[in-house]
């Protein structure tokens, strides 16, 4: 009988219906999140472990990486790796893998759901019908804002940003983007400054990586430039927007609206946002469809199998 390889699992694979079962079927996961004294558990049980299994939300900090002398790979479920200390991993030649591409379409679809939801007051209208206000309240339901034909600014024209842009052309929108560098393989207009993109755009959609390099990239001056008719959508990471500045801009009418799937201190959401009809709030569900979550699990297991077969991962970071 062959023994199942032992892997250190940082957090549960709760986002895919079958992933935890599949992990247990082929591997022996050491469940770190269940341990009271994690450092002692690692020192006692995980000194021979070659692989860490984690997710974008649980990540893997440097102290865990450095407490595992035999570590060779960190395989993560999710495309974002801002929660993994990739520098510490690479310093020890530890491979890191994520799950790119398979979630791109669903996250882009959700960004569009947020754009439409805020502009056409979809969540507000749903509340209005459910609470019995339709036909009872004097005056009509407030008017929304036209989406088709408007100006779409994308911050971070990567895989997801580009999928959002592509959908924009189907809505007859003019699309421009800001990234650290102009891309020479796309015809979308490039704005070298974030503020000039925001000043031009009706919709500013955030699709960059998270982490220190993009922390508070969207600050008060950028929000001011987007202006009282402007709508911001964030499906990237909450850290990219200065959340306090955004709440202030929305409260004072300096910013028109916001569609948010991610927040600075998840699962905490500022109470002020919950009271505003100009915002739509979602609980970090960009990739949360059955098909995509299964595909992400598939990619995680392909990376694990590849590592244990020949020491390589398929989608390295
Ligand atoms: N809401 C969700 O559930 C959800 C789901 C999947 C991914 N995400 C987030 O979306 C991010 C993007 O995913 P992707 O697959 O498109 O990644 P990607 O690497 O293809 O794209 C990231 C883009 O950000 C750009 N970028 C990096 N630093 C920048 C900066 N300082 N200024 C402007 N642009 C910058 C890069 O050039 C790149 O174009 C992930 O890192 C993740 O954090 C969120
Ligand atoms: O980066 C990602 O892929 C998404 O944010 C989904 O991962 P999470 O739900 O674990 O953050």
Exactly one of 121, 167, 178, 284 is catalytic; name it: 284
Burial of 140 (0-12, 13-18, 19+ CB in 10 A): exposed
- Give me the pLDDT at residue 1, please: 65
- Give me the pLDDT at residue 91, please: 98
Interface predicted TM-score (ipTM): 0.97
Q: What are the residues facing 74 on neighbouring strands? A: 52, 96
136-151: average pLDDT = 94
Q: Specify the pTM.
A: 0.97
- Give me the pLDDT at residue 264, please: 98
Quick check: CB of 57 below 6 Å from ligand 2? yes
d(CA 248, CA 72): 45
Give residue-wise pLDDT tens across range 166-175. Answer: 999 999 999 9
Give residue-wise pLDDT tens across range 57-115. Answer: 999 999 999 999 999 999 999 999 999 999 999 999 999 999 999 999 999 999 999 99
As a CATH number, domain 6-101+291-310 is: 3.40.50.720
Give residue-wise pLDDT tens across range 150-200. Answer: 999 999 999 999 999 999 999 999 999 999 999 999 999 999 999 999 999
Catalytic status, residue 284: yes
**Domain definitions of the chain by residue range:** 6-101+291-310, 104-281
Q: What are the residues facing 232 on neighbouring strands? A: 204, 258
Catalytic status, residue 266: yes
Q: What percent of the chain has pLDDT over 90?
A: 98
- CA-based torsion, 307, 312, 313, 317: positive or negative: positive
Closest approach atom of ligand 2 to CA 81: 1
Indicate whether 137 pLDDT > 90: no
Catalytic status, residue 22: no
Distance 286 CA to ligand 2 centre (A): 8
Residue bearing the CA closest to ligand 2, atom 1: 80
Give residue-wise pLDDT tens across range 21-30. Answer: 999 999 999 9
Closest approach atom of ligand 1 to CA 103: 6
Indicate whether 253 pLDDT > 80: yes
Exactly one of 237, 243, 264, 293 is catalytic; name it: 237
Spell out the SS3 assignment of 79-132. CCCCCECHHHHHHCCCEEECCCCCCHHHHHHHHHHHHHHHHCCHHHHHHHHHCC
Which residue is associated with the tokens 């919950």? 274
Residue bearing the CA closest to ligand 1, atom 18: 158
DSSP 8-state symbol, 165: H
Closest approach atom of ligand 1 to CA 181: 37
Quick check: CB of 282 below 6 Å from ligand 2? no
Longest dimension (CA), the chain: 74
Choose which CATH entry (3.20.20.140, 3.40.50.620, 3.40.50.720, 3.30.930.10) describes domain 104-281: 3.40.50.720
> Is-same-fold flag (6-101+291-310; 104-281)?
yes
Quick check: CB of 79 below 6 Å from ligand 2? yes
Comparing CA positions, the residue from 137, 54, 67, 62 lying closest to residue 97 is 54
């Amino acid at each position: 009988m062959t023994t199942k390889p032992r892997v250190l699992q940082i957090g549960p694979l709760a986002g895919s219906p079958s992933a935890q079962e599949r992990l247990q079927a082929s591997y022996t996961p050491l469940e770190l999140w269940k341990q009271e004294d994690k450092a002692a558990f690692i020192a006692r049980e995980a000194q021979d472990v070659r692989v860490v299994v984690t997710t974008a939300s649980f990540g893997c900090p440097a102290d865990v990486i450095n407490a595992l002398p035999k570590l060779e790979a960190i395989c993560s479920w999710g495309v974002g790796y801002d929660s993994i200390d990739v520098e510490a991993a690479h310093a020890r030649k530890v491979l890191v893998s994520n799950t790119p591409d398979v979630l791109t379409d669903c996250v882009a679809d959700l960004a569009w759901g947020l754009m439409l939801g805020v502009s056409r007051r979809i969540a507000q209208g749903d509340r209005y019908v459910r609470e019995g206000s339709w036909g009872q309240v004097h005056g009509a339901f407030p008017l929304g804002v036209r989406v088709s034909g408007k100006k779409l600014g994308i911050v971070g024209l990567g895989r997801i940003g580009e999928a959002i842009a592509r959908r924009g052309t189907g809505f007859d929108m003019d699309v421009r983007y800001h990234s650290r560098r102009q891309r020479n393989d796309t015809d979308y207009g490039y704005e070298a400054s974030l503020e000039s993109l925001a000043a031009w755009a009706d919709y500013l959609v955030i699709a960059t990586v998270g982490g220190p390099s993009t922390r508070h990239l969207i600050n008060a001056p950028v929000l001011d430039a987007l202006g009282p008719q402007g709508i911001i959508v964030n499906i990237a990471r909450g850290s990219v927007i200065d959340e306090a500045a955004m709440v202030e801009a929305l409260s004072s009418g300096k910013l028109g609206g916001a569609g948010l799937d991610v927040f600075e201190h998840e699962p905490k959401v500022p109470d002020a946002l919950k009271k505003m009809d100009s915002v739509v709030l979602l609980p970090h569900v960009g990739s949360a469809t059955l098909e995509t979550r299964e595909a992400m699990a598939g990619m995680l297991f392909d990376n694990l199998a590849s590592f244990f077969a020949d020491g390589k991962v398929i989608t390295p970071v």
